[in-house]
Structure 1
């Protein structure tokens, strides 16, 4: 993104002059105060909202993007297998092949034996794994994530994010993650960008995460650079929140 500007209607721009890069095999996190336009950035990249200025350059086709929302998009009348296979079927994959691929991804994410269950029969963590399988089955080259694990408890969240990290590292997927969890951002990412308070939010700071991959999400917190950088990011974010007079 270069000098991206976005507004809704005739209001003052939500973001104004935002620039960042996400490379193949890289996880980049976007943090900032509430109302700073983090989700707006994702909508601009996905094409859901047309920028008012600047540009978004993609090296992938629209069909090569995946979007994982905070609330899963599972259809309640479809089984886990049918939900994961849906995107493949819409792309013209034969039914039997789509179901085989769905079963493979469900197995990879620890859901073997649950293929015929409906969303109402799954726990929150299981539903999130199905939603993740639904996206990864389409083999995206760019994955956009908007607070996808916020509703999960700590243990389930750890296992799901560790699964995600394994596939990102293995498949060389580019990921842009919006999150309020600073430790999650630092543990997962190659770089973290801080948006200033809005309106007219911009990138106020960026932090390269120089921790080798592959990573274990528990072990990475013991890296000697982790705590000092976390303290720095927290200090900078708190400064933006204090100026805003609101919350994270």
Structure 2
């Protein structure tokens, strides 16, 4: 277990966590109760300024897909940085029952190296984990093929479209087989059709491998279509978790058809109404 800030020992044994499974995703109501992330009374600030977060608490279970939504400036991305160990809390605790090696982070802007081909960008993490060059490249080719880029491995990032680069970045992360995936609006820059295709591919892989996911997004429909649980942060600074919503739609899901589920529109309206209450109209909104 990785713990940021002192806390009492947790009774759950992290050594028993994360059995791998190739079976289909579990239906609603049968998910593990094993905790992967527990955040308690988290306080985050930058340079001694007024805290962005002032006592936020949440938890993420094994195999759960969780989204964070809220107004701009509410600290959504800050929560991810605290979990990843990129920013130390000013107060409270962050408990992560998974090692950094088993965690992936997909950023809004891809982190591809411009002087490396798509194949070598995907292979890089595998090489750092001890794979031979031939093994890493062969595995990279498999991932690129799964994401529809079988014939693009020798192209450089500048020779790829935005959607293709995003798929390479996704292959780069998934090739390391993370047990916990953090995503900070990774598809916001893509057009609607490409965004749908890439997101659907990611969702299918997450459901098949039972990867635990924490997503930051401004898109409420995307959050609901993808998630098991949604947390709404209040307006910042000094943001808190205002509400928690359960999305009771069975998996696997199709991102188009899930919007026609009888529970989709009522829950979307509820989240929208709660978010509207938090929007600072004079300060620029969400």
Q: State whether residues 235 and 280 of structure 2, in contact with CA within 8 Å, keep that contact through their aligned partners in structure 1.
A: no
Aligned equivalent of 1:229? 267
Q: State whether residues 197 and 244 of structure 1, in contact with CA within 8 Å, keep that contact through their aligned partners in structure 2.
A: no
Aligned equivalent of 2:96? 58
* 2:214 counterpart of 1:176: yes
Are residues 157 and 128 of structure 1, via their aligned partners in 2, closer, same or farther at CA, if it must alter by over 3 Å? same
CA distance in structure 1 between the aligned counterparts of 2:282 and 2:131, rounded to whole angstroms? 49
* 2:152 counterpart of 1:114: yes
* 1:149-168 aligned within 5 A: 149-168=187-206
Aligned equivalent of 2:171? 133
Structure 2 unmatched ranges of 5 or more? 1-38
CA distance in structure 2 between the aligned counterparts of 1:211 and 1:93, rounded to whole angstroms? 39
Residue 227 of structure 1: how far off its partner (Å):
0.5
CA distance in structure 2 between the aligned counterparts of 1:145 and 1:245, rounded to whole angstroms? 26
* 2:274 counterpart of 1:211: no
CA distance in structure 2 between the aligned counterparts of 1:231 and 1:43, rounded to whole angstroms? 29
Residue 242 of structure 1: how far off its partner (Å):
3.9
Alpha-carbon RMSD: 1.0
Instruction: Give the TM-score normalised by the residue count of structure 2.
Output: 0.85
Aligned equivalent of 1:196? 234
Instruction: Give the TM-score normalised by the residue count of structure 1.
Output: 0.98
CA distance in structure 2 between the aligned counterparts of 1:61 and 1:174, rounded to whole angstroms? 13
Aligned residues: 248
Residue 122 of structure 1: how far off its partner (Å):
0.7
Residue 3 of structure 1: how far off its partner (Å):
1.1
Aligned equivalent of 2:59? 21
Moved over 2 A (4+): 242-246
Are residues 244 and 235 of structure 1, via their aligned partners in 2, closer, same or farther at CA, if it must alter by over 3 Å? farther
CA distance in structure 2 between the aligned counterparts of 1:182 and 1:105, rounded to whole angstroms? 29
* 2:225 counterpart of 1:187: yes
Structure 1 unmatched ranges of 5 or more? none
CA distance in structure 2 between the aligned counterparts of 1:100 and 1:107, rounded to whole angstroms? 11
CA distance in structure 2 between the aligned counterparts of 1:10 and 1:58, rounded to whole angstroms? 25
CA distance in structure 2 between the aligned counterparts of 1:242 and 1:73, rounded to whole angstroms? 33
CA distance in structure 1 between the aligned counterparts of 2:127 and 2:96, rounded to whole angstroms? 25
CA distance in structure 2 between the aligned counterparts of 1:244 and 1:175, rounded to whole angstroms? 33
CA distance in structure 1 between the aligned counterparts of 2:127 and 2:282, rounded to whole angstroms? 46
Residue 246 of structure 1: how far off its partner (Å):
2.2
Aligned equivalent of 2:123? 85
Residue 243 of structure 1: how far off its partner (Å):
6.5
Q: What are the superposed Cα offsets for residues 70-101 of structure 1, whole Å, 9 maximum, x if unpaired?
A: 00000111100000001111122111111111
* 1:232-247 aligned within 5 A: 232-242=270-280, 245-247=283-285
